[in-house]
Every structure is written in C-alpha cells, then in structure tokens.
Amino acid sequence: MNLKHWCKLFLVYFCFSGILSADVGFVIRKVPTAKKLVALTIDDGPSMKYTPQILEVLAQKEATATFFLIAKNVETYPELAQSITANNHSLGNHGYEHRHLQKFSHKKLLKSIAKSQVVFYDAVGFLPKYFRPPFGKLTDAQLNVFNYHFQHIVRWSIDPRDWDKKKSNRAIIKHVKKELKPGSVIVLHENKRLIKLLPKLIKAINKKGYRCVSLDELLAERT
C-alpha cells in the first residue's frame, strides 16, 4: 500500500469516525440526525396577543416547537409559559430582558442569568436547559459562563429573516424549503406575521416529508 492509499484510507476512517461520534456540542446550530425532523424555534414571547394563537396553530398542525422566552414576559404571563410546556413544546431562556449581553460585565451577566432562571423556575417548576442570547451574540468569555449554567446555547441553521418587513411570507417559505435538511434549526419570531405565516410554513415543510418537532425530541433522535 502506497502513501496515496494510506491517505485515502485515513480520510475514509476520519470521515466515518466523525459520523459515528457526531455530537451536537454546547452550541447547537443543527442536530445530526438521519430522520426528516426539523426544529421550529420561536423567539421573544410570551405575549397574550400571539402565544395562544401560535399554540393553536401548532396543535392544529400536530407540530411541536421550541419557545425562547424573555423572562420578564414570563414574569407577567407565567400561565403562558405553563401552556407551552403542557403542550409538549420545549422552552428556553432568551434573557431577562431583550438586551445586548455582550456589553454586560461578568457580575451583571451572572445576576441576570440567576434572576431569569428563577423566574422560569417559579413559572414552570424547572430551570431551562437551553439559552439563546438576544440578537444571537455572546463573547467567548461569556460562552464559558453559560456553559456552567445551561446544557446548550441554541443558535440556528436557517434564518429566513421573518422580521424583515420587506420580505414576503412566500419568500420566507421559499427560503426555508431551499435550506431544509434533517436536523435543521429554524429561527422565527413571535410577531403578527407569524400567525399567518406559521400554518403555511408547517404545511410546506410537511409537504417535503419533514416533521416539525421540539428541540427535546430532535435531540433524542440525534445520531
């Protein structure tokens, strides 16, 4: 066997062992799975205006999702956070308030994490294991702090920019359909447009043979 063959063999072994030992790590962008499952993640709730309607759509479409909630809103509407968990959706912490955490000092960050986690504990009886930073950004040093308090920081693999008012619902659905892969994590926001967009989006995802599941379910199916 010459060097070329060894290189090939090593490459095959390297790729294969990579697949076998694939793990999601602390920061999740997508989940390695062979099944046609995806996670819809919905940020910035809960609100009386939209959360009950979103839950209704998900129930109608037999889909589960993951809600990244702002603790201050949970403080105001603990019953909405309870409805989310009671309906088998996953729940994550999206900060006490929707602030840029990168500007927080170490002390301020710790206090904010503790304050928000207590709010969730009081509302739903457990400490969220997922965290998604507002605006999606953290410094490397902050990432270590979060590693101490959460199982995963959840980012996303598909951002259809649903907050962009210039983008039509049709364009958003097209974007998601094009990027869809087993284990995709899709970021959406709790807002007026989502009520109309969500049933159409789930329908389009189902039509491609994919099912929308909570992050808990998706992680349970990782390979």
- Sole window of 39-47, 149-157, 172-180, 193-201 interacting with Zn ion (rule: CB under 5 A): 39-47
43 classed as catalytic = yes
- The minimum distance between CB 92 and Zn ion, in angstroms, equals 11
44 binds Zn ion, rule: CB under 5 A: yes
Considering the rule CB under 5 A, would residue 43 count as an interface residue with Zn ion? yes
Question: 159, 175, 189, 216: which is the annotated catalytic residue?
Answer: 189
Judged by beta carbon, residue 43 or residue 162, the one nearer Zn ion is 43
Distance separating alpha carbons of residues 97 and 37, to the nearest angstrom: 31
- DSSP one-letter string for 152-208: EEE--SB---TT-TTS-HHHHHHHHHHH--TTBEEEEE-SHHHHHHHHHHHHHHHHT
Using the minimum distance from each CB to Zn ion, give the nearer residue, 44 or 162. 44
Q: How far is the CB of 18 from Zn ion (least distance, A)?
A: 33
Residue 81 contacts residue 91 (beta carbons within 8 Å) = yes
Catalytic residue status for 94: no
Residue in the shown chain whose Cβ atom is closest to Zn ion: 43
Q: How many residues lie near Zn ion (CB under 5 A)?
A: 3
Sign for the pseudo-dihedral over CA of 107, 113, 119, 121? negative
Rounded CA separation 49/42 (Å): 15
Measured between its terminal Cα atoms, the distance across the chain in Å is 33
Catalytic sites, residue numbers: 43, 189
What is the binding site for Zn ion (CB under 5 A)?
43-44, 134
